[in-house]
Structure 1
Amino acid sequence: MPKHQHLGLLILALAIPVIALLPLPDFWITQLNMIGMYSMTVLGLVLLTGVGGLTSFGQAAFVGIGAYTTAWLTLNLGMSPWITLFIGLALTAGSALIVGLITLRMSGHYLPLATIAWGLSLYYLMGNLDALGKYDGLLGIQSLSVAGFDIGQGRAFFVLTWFILLAFAAALLHLLDSRAGRAIRSLKSGSQMAEAMGISTFRYKVTIFVLAALFASVAGWLLAHFQRTVNPSAFGLKMGIEYLFMAVIGGVGHVWGAIVGAGLIRVLEDQLQVLLPKLMGTSGSYEVIVFGVALVVMLKYLPDGLWSMVGKHIPAKPRKVDWQHAAALPERAKPANGELVLDVQKARMQFGGLVAVNDISFQIHAGQIVGLIGPNGAGKSTTFNLITGVLPATSGEVRFQGRNVIGTPSRDIAQLGMARTFQHVKMIPDMTVLENVALGAHTRGRKGVLPAMLRTNRAEERQLFREAQRQLERIGMGEYLHEQAGNLAMGPQRLMEIARALCADPTLLLLDEPAAGLRHKEKQALADVLRQLKGEGMSILLVEHDMDLVMQICDHLVVMEFGTLLTQGPPEQVQQDPKVRAAYLGTEH
């Protein structure tokens, strides 16, 4: 975690007891209590929407589950509120898991609509059940106490709420700076790149959906014992929208933005409810109009939220290099030189009446570089996608190390030892080069979300970063470790992708136009790297339009035209083939 994040947590930890001891009016202590509870819920949206790219209007419903669970159990069964907290978390996790499994396969506008439906369903359920007091809710809930000490609704409650919030913020920052966190951050870029790294995108989507719901449930538990009453109005769609509004205003991609957004909206809402009726001369919910206008202005001129203005003035210090003495990651057994690695037999890809790949057959052996060439539209990228599992072949076989991988998801093929780059560079621009490359080693790590949040994953993290640095130095990009990936020119971005693929310790490396955008010296360096990899026994399938590079390094060429196999053979033979010269290389003068 960057040093300024540690400093932020330390400042907040020191500020909490100081604020509790200051002679602030009870009104402001109450406001701070509400801000703390709102911030917990918004933290879940930072993870879910800001980091994971999943828009949800249903957070308020999960607040309601936590609140109603503790209210009903304490009132009707006399349970301790501290026991009901865990029961509420279990119920929240179960409901979030069910909702997530149903809705998170949706994309586009369907997911937000599904969460709206979920929020409305729970709101009307709470409002119509006699056991929950219908729309009047449940009254007379006891306040929290510890060893006979009544926490009440004042300063002691403030300390409890804000230390829980501090723990959540620290856990979330730890999570985002981890193997699991990098996988979660990759979700926003679409599933193709993440799945190619061996990441189960659906599993991570469900995980962060449940985690965000748990944050909200704790906030609901606190809210019930703070207000000592619960009713459906606090958990309806209006509050779901308001939580999302807080996240956007504060900075939906920033952990600290959750607190900024919740604080600003809570204070403004309270003040505007007093000031606007005086200005208008009549009562009404005018603050909703003001917030609506403010949201439009924010999205137009400050789409990353208020915290982005603060964040850009905090210098990003390079990550502390503490992995020099970390143990090396285990490496997979490699096939013997010359052993058959990939066997494509009559692979066919048909989209309706269009045959994109027409019964292609070729082989790759260990230590061999095979070039897949052809004019634009020849079907090279489609063939790549057949081999890597992005597209299921209509017919034929793709055998990787003796196993037919047709129909196997790309993440499972990545686990078997196949890694790739993309024709159009796919990366996470706001992560460093080191972090992007470490993403490639995802399948070589084991630590998940909980170890990351508890910070028990550090030994494995050091191993992953050591491997990422080794691969970057291997391709001559050692000086770019701490550079933000989005700042790189196209050439270095492509080299970074190769380093990321190498981080997976592949048996077969598939490179899709790796020389595009590279200068002459960079191309020569790339050629040297590929020769080195070949010498180490790696098999490489290369799609490339730079024929000088192809002729320099390839042992075998496969030429495609209009989805069909035109010819294949050694580069010298292919270069002289009249059909190839006519179709691709140009006819002899």
Structure 2
Amino acid sequence: MTNIRHQAFSLPLLLPVALLCIAIALPLLPTPEYWINLLNYIGLYSLVAIGLVLLTGVGGMTSFGQAAFVGLGAYATAYLSTRHGVSPWLGLLAGLAITVISAYLIGLITMRMSGHYLPLATIAWGISLYFIFGNAEMLNKYDGLSGIPAISLFGISLASPRAIYFLIWGAVLLAILCLRNLLASRPGRAIRALKGGSMMAEAMGVDTRRMKVTIFVISAMLASISGWLYAHFQRTVNPSPFGLGYGIEYLFMAVVGGVGHLWGAVLGAGLLTLLKDGLQSVLPRLLGSSGNFEIIVFGALMIFLLQYAQEGIWPHLRRLFPDKANPAPPPRADAIARSPKPRAGERILDVQRARKQFGGLVAVNDVSFGVDAGEIVGLIGPNGAGKSTTFNLVTGLLPLTSGSIAYRGQDISRFASRDIVRLGIGRTFQHVQLLPGMSVLENVALGAHLRGDYRPQGGVLASVLRLNRREEAKLLHEAACQLERVGLKEWMFAEAGSLALGQQRILEIARALCSDPALLLLDEPAAGLRYQEKQALATLLRQLRDDGMSILIVEHDMDFVMNLTDKLVVMEFGTKIAEGTPETIQQHPAVLEAYLGGIE
């Protein structure tokens, strides 16, 4: 899990900034031209690797095709400036436009893929675009385009490597700043949730497919900008630097530096560029010039890293400078909007003959029950009874085979889970689903994804430009209030993965409460809790009920549910066999005969 955080200037941040300031000053010193050129290439590669950190390290999607987007940016400006005399700056806009359209269309097709299919798809489009560059007559085929004009900025020509050096590294710094802003925001938390699994993210209201396409487009735009800079730095382009081999190298740079860290991309680009340059000088003298022996060394290095430093080099450097900074909620913030609460006695949830089949297996067999406002209903039964499947039907994670489910009179049988949470249904999971590398506060704030000032899936540009400060203040303040409500305030800045299992379950409840639900679905919330923790949880749930919230709870602890719930629904093998008050259920003949004594 990525460890990128919203933080004040601290030692881990000052270290790369200080080194970067020294590097930027090098052109002003009598530095050899060779080193200036080498640093320019490191900057160009860094831009692509930074995009891969967002796409792969944060979003969890592997791409070997980023070199093709570098080529789009390079060829767009090269063609327009050499054949039509268009300004390089207009060439930049044209390249970005072509890249955005291409990446969006490719993303719509490929971002729904998972497993090994996505990397294979990225290889396919990388190879396809490479051969388009090499076979297009208008691009002069494999000979490429030459005579590309230099960039001019405020009347100053950036024709020399020393002059364009500042533009390249300025773009690197700007990219890091913008992505840091993005990842420390509401859309950023949604992006970081992608790697934790789409089911949890969707249940928090995140449109995961749209978010995947968004970060794919952003990473492609950074690659395109790198290509634009490359074209006007080299003053000539041909297909060779945009092939699959370079796409693999870019991903290698991100992995070596630390694929979950923005500054790791710069570190990886620098290390691999210097290593490759050194190996190309040394290895031919040792082994001859008949082969690309540096590829063998790179392969051995990758095996070593995967064995001993899977998170890359940057995390090890950060350990030398511990960073305790975390996003902190403001002491006061504007009130966040809340939905109107249901009236007493209103039917909140109405499940009628709900049925779910997986092939020939009937997991839920025509189950009917209801939940009223201000009521705690328990759904009990042995393992395999269909309780969690019923939960997933109510929350839209699974589609109904037949029957209907209504929330406050509205049929939600065909709603997606992200639309259901918008209506006012929050949930936890049978198996805890958190983002362990994020703070407790940020995990809870993810639950308020749909309650921001900007459109639920929008706000990306506002976050990049830090126009979302007011929104962030409200969401973090709400998250802090919910943590205090459930008794986890003192753990606010701890990493979620460091909490005990019982605390993680309580954290999930706080995250669900952050969505402002009228109906709360809890899947085995008392599992892993000690006796006193269970009593505290019961007190919390009774308080929520007294505040007008309805709760549907699956639990195996009979003492817990018998003393907590107003009504119980009993399931066996996907079928409801009893419904009534705890006292009634304890005396129900079918329950006593079938399995009550077998529930623990």
Provide TM-score, normalisation by structure 1.
0.98
Pairwise CA RMSD: 1.4
1:451 equivalent among 457, 462, 482: 462
Kept after mapping to 1: 8 A contact 2:439/2:493 = yes
Matched, 1:570 2:581: yes
Cα offset, 1:317, TM superposition? 1.6
Instruction: Look up the equivalent residue of 2:48 and give its one-letter code.
Output: T
Instruction: Look up the equivalent residue of 1:402 and give its one-letter code.
Output: G
2:483 is matched with: 472
Instruction: Look up the equivalent residue of 2:358 and give its one-letter code.
Output: F
Distance verdict in 2 for CA 1:337–1:168, change over 3 Å: same
Cα offset, 1:279, TM superposition? 1.2
1:6-29: CA deviation from partner (whole Å, max 9, x where unpaired) = 535753664354223222111111
2:186 equivalent among 175, 179, 183: 179
Matched, 1:538 2:549: yes
Cα offset, 1:158, TM superposition? 1.1
1:232 equivalent among 211, 235, 239: 239
Kept after mapping to 2: 8 A contact 1:511/1:540 = yes
Distance verdict in 2 for CA 1:587–1:74, change over 3 Å: closer
2:518 is matched with: 507
2:562 is matched with: 551
1:86 is matched with: 93
1:102 equivalent among 98, 109, 115: 109
1:520 is matched with: 531
2:502 is matched with: 491
CA distance in 2, matches of 1:9, 1:462: 28
Distance verdict in 2 for CA 1:587–1:352, change over 3 Å: closer
Structure 1 unpaired stretches of 5+: none
1:529 equivalent among 537, 540, 562: 540
Alignment of 1:62-73 (within 5 A): 62-73=69-80
CA distance in 2, matches of 1:154, 1:134: 27
2:596 is matched with: 585
1:7 is matched with: 14
Instruction: Look up the equivalent residue of 1:172 and give its one-letter code.
Output: L
CA distance in 2, matches of 1:193, 1:242: 33
CA distance in 1, matches of 2:295, 2:511: 47
Kept after mapping to 1: 8 A contact 2:351/2:405 = yes
2:317 is matched with: 310
Cα offset, 1:353, TM superposition? 1.1
2:54 is matched with: 47
1:18 is matched with: 25
CA distance in 2, matches of 1:488, 1:586: 33
Cα offset, 1:369, TM superposition? 0.3
Greater Cα offset, 210-219 or 144-153: 144-153
CA distance in 2, matches of 1:168, 1:486: 29
Greater Cα offset, 573-582 or 516-525: 573-582
Structure 2 unpaired stretches of 5+: 1-5
CA distance in 2, matches of 1:541, 1:58: 47
Aligned length: 588
Alignment of 1:136-151 (within 5 A): 136-151=143-158
Kept after mapping to 1: 8 A contact 2:16/2:263 = no
Alignment of 1:281-360 (within 5 A): 281-319=288-326, 321=328, 323-360=330-367
Greater Cα offset, 139-148 or 449-458: 139-148
Cα offset, 1:157, TM superposition? 1.1
Cα offset, 1:318, TM superposition? 3.8
Cα offset, 1:333, TM superposition? 0.6
CA distance in 2, matches of 1:352, 1:372: 25
Instruction: Look up the equivalent residue of 2:503 and give its one-letter code.
Output: P
1:494-527: CA deviation from partner (whole Å, max 9, x where unpaired) = 0000000000000110000000001111101100
Greater Cα offset, 321-330 or 251-260: 321-330
Alignment of 1:27-426 (within 5 A): 27-319=34-326, 321=328, 323-426=330-433
SS in structure 1 at match of 2:595 = helix
1:62-98: CA deviation from partner (whole Å, max 9, x where unpaired) = 0000000000000011011011111110110000001
Greater Cα offset, 488-497 or 440-449: 440-449
Greater Cα offset, 20-29 or 554-563: 20-29
Kept after mapping to 2: 8 A contact 1:16/1:159 = no
Cα offset, 1:104, TM superposition? 1.0
Provide TM-score, normalisation by structure 2.
0.96
Greater Cα offset, 13-22 or 535-544: 13-22
CA distance in 1, matches of 2:53, 2:407: 40
Distance verdict in 2 for CA 1:458–1:11, change over 3 Å: farther
1:524-577: CA deviation from partner (whole Å, max 9, x where unpaired) = 110010000000000000000111110111000000000000100001110111
| Fraction of identical pairs, as percent | 59
Instruction: Look up the equivalent residue of 1:533 and give its one-letter code.
Output: L
Cα offset, 1:325, TM superposition? 1.4
Instruction: Look up the equivalent residue of 2:136 and give its one-letter code.
Output: L
Cα offset, 1:316, TM superposition? 2.4
Cα offset, 1:329, TM superposition? 0.7
SS in structure 1 at match of 2:159 = coil
